[in-house]
Amino acid sequence: MNRSDQPIEALLDEERLFPPPEECSRSANIADPDIYQRAAKDPEAYWAQAAESLEWMRKWDRVLDWNPPIAQWFVGGKLNVSVNCLDRHVRGWRRNKAAFIWEGEPGEERVLTFADLYREVNRFANAMKRLGVQKGDRVTIYMPMIPELPIALLACARIGAPHSVVFGGFSAESLRDRINDAQSKLVITADGSYRRGQIVPLKRNVDAALKDCPCVEKVVMVRRIGDAAPVAVDETRDVWWHRAVENVPAWCEPEPMDSEDPLFILYTSGTTAKPKGILHTTGGYILGASLTHKWVFDAKEEDVYWCSADIGWVTGHSYIVYGPLANGTTGVLYEGSPDWPDKDRWWAMVAKYGVNVFYTAPTAIRAVMKWGESYPAKHDLSTLRLLGSVGEPINPEAWMWYHEKIGQGRCPIVDTWWQTETGSIMISPLPGLTTTKPGSATFPLPGIDADVVDEAGNSVPLGGGGYLVLKSPWPSMARTIYGDPKRYEETYWQRFGKNVYFAGDGCKRDEEGYFWLLGRVDDVMNISGHRLSTMEVESALVDHQEVAEAAVIGKKDDIKGEAIAAFVTLKEGAEGNAGKVDELKKHVVRKIGPIARPQSVYFTAELPKTRSGKIMRRLLRDIAEGRALGDTTTLADATVVAKLKSQYEEG
Ligand code: WT7
């Protein structure tokens, strides 16, 4: 378990309390504390009432069919997510309201009104149809943060083709595996993207991936870079976006989707080397995303809202694209890095666009903290009224800094716990109601039945810790792992019985019932808020011809939360030197992507193992973090770890 700067006992004694500012309570979307009780008393009635806020083509027959662990929500209902995000706004006065204010890394600006977005989505939906994409076909999207990215997602939703977005920081090989797993027919990409002034050659990665993807028929490419990123064009397969939308009809009939029809697949790391294709469906997902956006971020009509995530992660799906657009919110979309051209880019943008609500990750806050307060201090941040955090536990120090230096002591902070699998926020303050404590995600949202249980599945009394579970289904829950329903049941619905969702996180509750998330309890690492499995990185390492064996751990890191440390045994005759360290790091980047680059690589003649041959990662973590070794009695050979420790200490 990982908690960056304090032992948990210190956290539970947290005495600093931040009640909601009066102004916020007075005007909040949710100001009635009875909502929690009402939801708990009759969850189905609660969710049904909430679902009235969506536009349905056909109303549902039943709110929920629950055959654990299989849930179906709003059974018999029909709707289209793009209609909910666009058509209903375009019909009324929001037509000319900004949907996205986009800024490219080099500095270009583009504002898309809801009408603009609607037009582009309709056109691209028709373009995809013309390329042979039909309802149910999967589409892989590998794009930079440019307007065409949300346009592509919404166009897929409009024609009922589930999208699978692959983050642009993944390698060609990772992309290939995800395309093949989803059996995508179409890939949407760009010639390249900008990152810290450099060009990331996306199309080149697509070309490499597609050498082994027979399922792909067509590739659409956005011209983002132009001459500086020349691309190889396969005339039978590749088409430029701007050509694809030429002469297509301006209107595309939205596909009436069943509540339970798939909306998207999103790959995330589990405890094995193979990522899981988390499948989300239509009705429940858009309800979860829109409702939580409205309540947790207290979305107001006049808001300028900015979630700094990448759309390649679930945070971007739910809180850049679907939630905010369903609520008719104006969102900022930024292509690049926070420290380009200088470390005040974000704050310059907050001031420039008058951002009111800002949502980011603890790793970013810690980086900004390290750069120093002079960067935010240079800009007028007085428009901010609410701040959010997501992706990993936020340490109280970072929370306080965020509160004081960015929120200027004025803005409530919502620390939101959720996962790719939960689809939307599960545990979070409600800004007008909840008194917050620095470092606690506070309480489960109304209708969310979270608990902390021990090894045997018994609820742990307040003051104690254990495993975080969700004991009742919720609308935006994942429905399955694409193509592997068995793994879905085994991973989430077995450990504590088939009625109980096992999140994979450790959690404590204090005497007042506040939830304190403690990090993963499995072999999943959280590197700068990005989820990676130790096994994934290990198998990338052993793929190198000179590596015999590898063990990977997430080592505490002041900025990233966790950083990757690899312990490697080389094959006979291979030499572990500085050059080899470099080579192995590069190899992992090539296999998985830059996000998986190990921070440190250590060579060792042997790895510490139990008598049954299991690598004891816990001891490796002790070594890497410079602690005394924990219990070593189950080791097959205790000298291995002792040697490793002294070797490590020598540097
Ligand atoms: C894992 C899910 C869903 C948003 C982005 C990450 C960790 C997420 C928090 C938080 C403590 C958090 C958990 C979780 N996590 N938010 N507020 N406090 N931990 O999505 O990639 O699916 O990762 O991120 O460990 O299981 P993800």
Ligand 1 midpoint to CA 315 (Å):
10
Structure confidence by residue, pLDDT tens digits, 582-620? 999 999 999 999 999 999 999 999 999 989 888 889 899
Is residue 12 over pLDDT 80?
A: no
- Which ranges in 297-447 belong to alpha helices (H)? 314-316, 323-326, 345-353, 362-371, 374-377, 396-401
pLDDT in tens, 45-61: 999 999 999 999 999 99
Average pLDDT over residues 77-86: 99
For the stretch 529-559, pLDDT in tens is 899 999 999 999 999 999 999 999 999 999 9
Which DSSP symbol is given to 482? T
DSSP-assigned letters across all residues of 201-233 = -HHHHHHHHGGG-TT--EEEEE-SS-TTS----
- The yes-or-no verdict on residue 126 having pLDDT over 90 is yes
Establish whether residue 275 lines the binding site of ligand 1, counting it when its CB lies within 6 angstroms of any ligand atom.
Answer: no
The verdict on the CB of residue 390 being under 6 Å from ligand 1 is yes
3 Cα to the center of ligand 1, angstroms: 13
pLDDT category of residue 519 using cuts at 50, 70 and 90: very high
Which segment of 116-130, 495-509, 626-640 scores lowest on mean pLDDT? 626-640
Q: Supply the residue whose CA is at minimum distance from atom 11 of ligand 1.
A: 393
The rounded Å distance from CA 421 to ligand 1 centre is 10
277 Cβ below 6 A of ligand 1: no
DSSP label at 93? Answer: G
> From ligand 1's centre to the CA of 594, what distance in Å?
20
Ligand 1 atom closest to residue 520's alpha carbon, by position in its atom list:
25
Q: Is 416 in the pocket of ligand 1 (CB under 6 A)?
A: yes
Mean per-residue pLDDT over the chain, rounded: 96
- Quick check: 5 pLDDT over 60? no
Residue whose CA is at the smallest distance from ligand 1 atom 19: 392
CA nearest ligand 1 atom 5, residue: 391
How much is the pLDDT for 2? 43
- pLDDT of 15: 84
What residue spans of 433-577 are helical by DSSP H? 485-492, 534-542
**Mean pLDDT, residues 634-646 taken together:** 88
CA atoms of 366 and 370, how far apart (whole Å): 6
pLDDT digits (tens, 9 = 90+) for 213-252: 999 999 999 999 999 999 999 999 999 999 999 999 999 9
Cα(561) to ligand 1 centroid in Å equals 12
Q: How confident is the model at residue 3, as a pLDDT?
A: 46
What is the pLDDT confidence band of residue 11, given thresholds at 50, 70 and 90? confident
Kindly report the protein residue whose alpha carbon is nearest to atom 17 of ligand 1.
417
Judge contact between 237 and 217, C-beta under 8 A.
yes
pLDDT at 1 over 70: no
pLDDT of the residue at 14: 80
Asked whether 534 lines ligand 1 (CB < 6 A), one says no
**Per-residue model confidence as pLDDT tens digits over 348-400:** 999 999 999 999 999 999 999 999 999 999 999 999 999 999 999 999 999 99
Give the whole-angstrom CA distance, residue 571 versus residue 426. Answer: 46
pTM: 0.96
| 202-218 pLDDT tens trace | 999 999 999 999 999 99
Nearest CA to ligand 1 atom 8: 391
Measure 417 CA to ligand 1 centroid, in angstroms. 6
Q: What is the pLDDT of residues 185-194, one digit of tens each?
A: 999 999 999 9
Q: Using a 6 Å cutoff on CB, does residue 398 contact ligand 1?
A: no
> Who contacts 347 (Cβ-Cβ below 8 Å, separation ≥6)?
375, 376, 378, 379, 381
Q: How far is the CA of 159 from the centre of ligand 1 (A)?
A: 31
